[in-house]
């Protein structure tokens, strides 16, 4: 594994600008070495892209990156590594998947963010907006690539985030867009199943909870009345829960949403409001 702090991280999206500049016989190109998070102007030669440290990313390496449209690559000290990891604990393959902006992660081939007509960063902002203002002490029940925790930590006093599989954090450490997950001092990480972890958290503690679980078919217990009751218990008075569910216009999304609303109310939430633009609901204690 190559740590992103030491590596150039690229996908086929960044390669395109290099080919255009080469075809136009330009000696400089503005591109990104961190999956579009930042941009800089670099020298381009017949050998390849001249990197800030004095190394050259050769055209052969650029071509290798460009051939894979479903993966991101870390390059450091002449070594090119596909950002992918296998979890022995859960028998899953995690792959960092590029978009025009922040990447998502494939979990055994299934993207964990919305990417059709939207990018993962905008998807995250929609979730945060649905429960705004995000302040006080916040719980993020599913770390994933850390985007929700990172965004919440910009305005919250403290964020606790829970990740089931430590292998996911290996991907995060190679993803430039996840760097703040390890840099922000107001983010506390916990490893374990959210169902078990929330039972250890104190009552009336969180002002906001962002619950973005795997699909109902993969983790139905995180949509259960028992789990919702635990979320109600750890929310403070007038606290709010955003629950990402999925496309409310799809048949499965409609069915899961109806069941979730019913169980949230049974768990004690006084009001549940649909947030279709964020593919979820907000429940008020």
Residue 192 has a pLDDT of: 97
List of residues 6+ apart from 26 with CB closer than 8 A = 44
- Higher model confidence: residue 237 or residue 249? 237
Taking Cα atoms as reference points, which of 61, 129, 62, 72 lies closest to residue 100? 72
Taking Cα atoms as reference points, which of 66, 255, 219 lies closest to residue 144? 219
d(CA 34, CA 173): 13
pLDDT digits (tens, 9 = 90+) for 165-179: 999 999 999 999 999
Residue 250 has a pLDDT of: 87
Question: Residue 3, exposed/middle/buried by CB under 10 A (0-12, 13-18, 19+)?
Answer: exposed
Taking Cα atoms as reference points, which of 47, 40, 39, 41 lies closest to residue 22? 47
Taking Cα atoms as reference points, which of 218, 216, 200, 209 lies closest to residue 267? 209
Which domains does the chain show, CATH number per domain? 4-82 (no CATH), 113-284 (3.40.50.150)
Taking Cα atoms as reference points, which of 244, 112, 125, 100 lies closest to residue 171? 112
Share of the chain above pLDDT 70, in %: 98
12 pLDDT band (50/70/90 cuts)?
very high
Residue 1 has a pLDDT of: 54
6 pLDDT band (50/70/90 cuts)?
low
Mean pLDDT, rounded, for 218-245: 96
DSSP secondary structure code for residue 29 in this structure: E
Cα-based distances in Å from 253 to 9, 201, 229, 246, 258: 35, 30, 22, 5, 9
Positive or negative, the Cα torsion across 207, 212, 217, 218?
A: negative
pLDDT digits (tens, 9 = 90+) for 133-163: 999 999 999 999 999 999 999 999 999 999 9
Chain centre distance of CA 60: 30
């Amino acid at each position: 594994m190559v740590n992103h702090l030491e590596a150039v991280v690229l996908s086929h999206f960044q390669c395109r600008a290099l080919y255009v500049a080469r075809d136009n016989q330009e000696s400089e190109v503005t591109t990104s070495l961190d999956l579009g998070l930042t941009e800089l102007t670099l020298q381009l030669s017949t050998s390849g892209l001249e990197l800030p440290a004095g190394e050259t990313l050769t055209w052969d390496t650029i071509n290798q990156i460009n051939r894979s449209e479903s993966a991101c690559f870390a390059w450091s000290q002449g070594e090119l590594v596909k950002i992918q990891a296998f979890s022995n604990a859960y028998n899953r393959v995690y792959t960092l998947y590029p978009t025009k902006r922040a990447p998502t992660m494939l979990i055994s081939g299934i993207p964990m963010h919305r990417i059709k007509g939207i990018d993962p960063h905008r998807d995250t902002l929609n979730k945060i907006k649905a429960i705004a203002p995000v302040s006080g002490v916040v719980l993020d029940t599913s770390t994933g690539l850390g985007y929700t925790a990172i965004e919440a930590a910009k305005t919250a006093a403290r964020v606790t985030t829970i990740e089931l599989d430590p292998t996911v954090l290996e991907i995060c450490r190679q993803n430039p867009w996840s760097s703040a997950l390890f840099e922000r001092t107001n983010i506390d990480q916990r490893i374990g199943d959210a169902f078990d972890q929330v039972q250890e958290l104190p009552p009336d503690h969180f002002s906001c909870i962002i619950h973005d679980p795997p699909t109902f078919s993969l983790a139905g217990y995180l949509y259960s009345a028992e789990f919702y009751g635990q979320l109600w218990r750890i929310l403070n008075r007038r606290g709010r829960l955003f629950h990402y569910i999925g496309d409310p216009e799809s048949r499965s999304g409609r069915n899961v949403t109806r069941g979730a609303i019913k169980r949230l109310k049974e768990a004690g939430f006084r009001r549940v409001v649909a947030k279709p633009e964020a593919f979820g609901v907000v429940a008020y204690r």
